Amino acid sequence: MYTKESEEHQFSFTHDWFVVPEVDENHELIKIAKAIDWVSVSEKLSRFYCADNGRPAKPSRAKVGLLILKHLYRYSDAELVDLIKRDIYAQYLCDVSLKEAKNFINSSTLSKFRKQIGVEGIKLIEQEVFKSLQRTKLLKGRRLVCDTTVVPSDIAYPTDVSLLNKVRQKAVQYLDTARQFGAKTFRTYKRTARRVFITYQKIRHHTTQSRRRVQRKLLQFSRRNINQLKEAMDTIAADTHKIAGNTKDKFIKEVQPFLDTASAILAQQKDVYHGLPVKERIVSVHKPHIRPMVRGKYPVEVEFGPKVLFNLKNKCLFLESLNFANVSDANLLGPAIDAYKERFGTYPSQLSTDRGFWSKENYRLAEEKNISKIAIENKGKSSYLAHKPFRERMRRFRCSIEAKISLAKRKYGLDRIRYHIAGGEEMWIRLGLMAMNLKTATAYG
């Protein structure tokens, strides 16, 4: 039966809208809110703020709660602002009333918060989350399972031509800004260079000769623009005219790292053009610390991002190390065992890893740590684990970390790092694992 809309829009205090809503105590956000000691989190993060000066900051619980929501549901900062306005469970987690939620926070506040606390602050939050995991008794046992993977950074797949074009584009942008600070106008050939690059991009298949021809042209355009930018910066630095707000100093401080990176890229690309080997090759203008990781795995043989070491304790995954160099897995077993000892206070009694960690030195190291069951698949046709009674059981434990890493990449954002601030790679991974472990803890208890 059709229900007609009421013409009475004046709500009384007996209307359902004014009744205090009842929340489901079994909801995961309610459990997370009750599991974390928010007072301790606030006290630890207070070191990043001035105690008696400046505008009062938003409560730490609200900002940390929003970060957990961001990685738990893979929301953007703008979507989090909308979520806190309409979702009562998000308001409960962040301790924000319905009245406050209307204009409570701006998306830029979260960005500033991440920059302010950095990796150190994220580790402090992680410590409190670890205490909440210990209270659930989810971390019982002394079994260590470790593995490595590459978490891709948010960069486009690099090619020699596209990298040179990005250097040229950025240099031209800085040259346009430099004119505002008194630098002379240069002939940049930006239209000609852009036409060369676009023509190259429109062709699906290239011969080696055509690719080298475009590479040589863009190398010349980029070198000219970088030299022009260096001359402009020398002119600006020599000018004693004071500009309000120290904007000139900020501009010089911003351009100098780019000039260092661009000069290194041009030198490397010149060697690439002449067929010379290049070590520590730069693949991104904006993230020069990223290196190509040749893994040789299907479906992507080369990945671009940090190589991370994970330890799995029952159903919880922890980040133990992060490297931007392609470190051999065999060199990471010792740090994995030491990190387990530091985190849990004792060495493991069981160890299971794949054959990438195998070496005789690692096996002796595990024996020295009094690990009774060591299941590291050795390289070669014959396995020393062939007649061990615990081999299959430990192999199943080892497979569980593969499933957990896959879950982290599919559901919690470890398929691509989205933070672009200093230390953003480690912050993104730690927050993603934190959200996943809290989700696991709420399902467990």
- Phi first, then psi: give them for residue 96, nearest 5 degrees: -120, 130
73: nearest Cα among 436, 416, 319, 316: 436
Q: How many angstroms separate the CA atoms of 28 and 30, rounded?
A: 5
pLDDT-derived band at 271, boundaries 50, 70, 90 = very high
Sheet holding 373-376, edge to edge: 316-323, 307-313, 143-150, 350-353, 373-376
**With contact defined as beta carbons under 8 Å apart, do 312 and 339 qualify?**
no
Mean pLDDT, rounded, for 390-394: 80
For 227-249, write each residue's pLDDT tens digit: 999 999 999 988 766 665 578 88
Of 430, 441, 433, 438, the C-alpha closest to 123 is 430
Name the pLDDT band for 18 (thresholds 50, 70, 90): low
- pLDDT at position 362 over 80: yes
Predicted confidence at residue 2, as pLDDT, reads: 52
Say if CB 116 and CB 48 are below 8 A apart.
yes
pLDDT tens-digit map of 30-41: 999 999 999 999
The tally of CA atoms less than 13 A away on the side-chain side of residue 203 is 11
Among the listed residues 62, 41, 73, the one whose alpha carbon sits nearest the alpha carbon of residue 110: 62
Q: What does the mean pLDDT of the chain come to?
A: 89
For the chain, domains (ranges, CATH) are 16-122 (no CATH), 139-155+300-444 (3.30.420.10), 160-273 (no CATH)
| Omega within 30 of 0 (cis) for the link into 299 | yes
Q: Looking at residue 7, what is its pLDDT?
A: 64
Distances (CA, A) of 28 to 66, 232, 238, 371, 373: 14, 57, 60, 36, 36
Residues contacting 411, CB < 8 A, separation 6+: 74, 436
